Structure 1
Amino acid sequence: MFESEADQFQSAGIQVGADQSEVEERLLSTALSAFGVSRRNNALNMARLYAVLHCFENEVRALIRETLEEKERTDWVDKLPNKIKIFAESRQKTAVDDSWLEGEKSDILGFVDFGNLAAIISENWKHFEAVIPSQHWLKQRMDELEKVRHFIAHNRVLLPSEYQRVYMYVADWNAAVGL
């Protein structure tokens, strides 16, 4: 009962309990303290980009899921391009059967490569054309963001000028889809 009421207070912006942000900052500071200032700063900048891309990628997945569920009902998974669907199902099966990692495993879209998300939208264009400006616009932005995603996923550092491009593309997407 307390947790339920505490959530209501926290949703209203009222702090309940200890401030976890200070604890988290201390833990991060301790974990990074062995590394040089330049490496730490690069890591923190790239972590912000990762957070933006994480949110973006999962919003794209949610848009696909929600749109196809609404338009195709329970058959929406059948509207995925066959090659993409087979690959994702294979990955999903491996995650369920062989993985010791815990986490979400029931959502088929979670096993679709980032680069294939645009293909799913294009394949089902009639359901997305009212929201996304054009297939060319979609492909251009998703291709660019996929390149950035690979840089981040492989722990390479982007130049600060590239950060703005990422923020701009994500802001363009958010404006187009109404976020």
Structure 2
Amino acid sequence: MFESEASSFQSAGIEIGADSQYTEKELLAEALSPFGLTRRNNALEMARVYAILNCFENELRTFIRETLEEKKGLDWWDQLPSRIKSHAEGRQESALKDSWLEGEKSDLLGFVDFGMLAKIIIEEWELFNNLIPSQHWLKQRMEELERARNFIAHNRMLLPSEFQRIYMYVSDWNRVIGL
């Protein structure tokens, strides 16, 4: 009953309940407060680019999975090159042994290294060539994004020009693929 009444107040512009955005900002500010202003600002800037790369990488995995499922069927994984499959399966096996570490462990494509994702597309080029301008276009962007991704994963600060390159490449990809 309260929820139905609350929505009518909210639609009238009256705030009810906790503002989750405000709460999240406050929690983040508190967690970062022991560190200097420059370090906090750098971390927030890196968090933004990390979020973009996280979304891009996971969209890329979905794009590959959906394209291969559609064109090759549900057993598409079995048809990938053995070096890619064995690498991912080995990483999955290690993750399963680390039972203390929780998270997604069933998706084999999630265990494929970022750089190998472009190799899958190139190996199956006839299925992707109508969607991606060229192998050169793909390789160039993926190699540069992989270098930046690895830099970020090791908590190193990028220069502003690198931020712009990442934003540009992800934007190019989204435009070409239709996101």
Please give the TM-score of this superposition, normalised by the length of structure 2: 0.89
Secondary structure at 1:156 match in 2: coil
Tell me the CA shift for residue 132 of structure 1. 0.6
Tell me the CA shift for residue 131 of structure 1. 0.6
Q: How does 1:165-176 map to 2 (within 5 A)?
A: 165-176=165-176
**Pair 1:91 & 2:75 matched:** no
Report which of the two structures shows the higher radius of gyration computed on alpha carbons: 2
Partner of 1:74: 74
CA distance in 2 between partners of 1:97 and 1:35 (Å) = 35
**Pair 1:42 & 2:42 matched:** yes
Q: How does 1:1-179 map to 2 (within 5 A)?
A: 17-179=17-179
Match of 2:85, as an amino acid?
K
Alpha carbons 1:71, 1:127 under 8 Å: kept: yes
Tell me the CA shift for residue 74 of structure 1. 1.7
CA distance in 2 between partners of 1:161 and 1:91 (Å) = 33
Deviations 1:122-176 (A, max 9, x none): 0001111111100110000000000100110000000112111100000000011
CA distance in 2 between partners of 1:17 and 1:59 (Å) = 34
Tell me the CA shift for residue 53 of structure 1. 0.2
Partner of 1:10: none
**Tell me, which stretches of 5 or more residues in structure 1 are unaligned?**
4-14
Secondary structure at 1:74 match in 2: coil
Identical pairs, percent: 67
Alpha carbons 1:80, 1:120 under 8 Å: kept: yes
CA distance in 1 between partners of 2:136 and 2:89 (Å) = 28
Tell me the CA shift for residue 79 of structure 1. 2.5
Secondary structure at 1:46 match in 2: helix
Deviations 1:69-113 (A, max 9, x none): 111112200222210110101111221233311111111110000
Paired residues in the alignment total: 167
Secondary structure at 2:88 match in 1: helix
Match of 1:162, as an amino acid?
E
Alpha carbons 1:114, 1:146 under 8 Å: kept: yes
Secondary structure at 1:138 match in 2: helix
Match of 1:72, as an amino acid?
K
Match of 1:122, as an amino acid?
I
Secondary structure at 1:26 match in 2: helix
**Tell me, which stretches of 5 or more residues in structure 2 are unaligned?**
4-14
More displaced 10-residue stretch of structure 1: 72-81 or 55-64: 72-81
Alpha carbons 1:79, 1:124 under 8 Å: kept: no
CA distance in 2 between partners of 1:56 and 1:100 (Å) = 28
CA distance in 2 between partners of 1:17 and 1:56 (Å) = 34
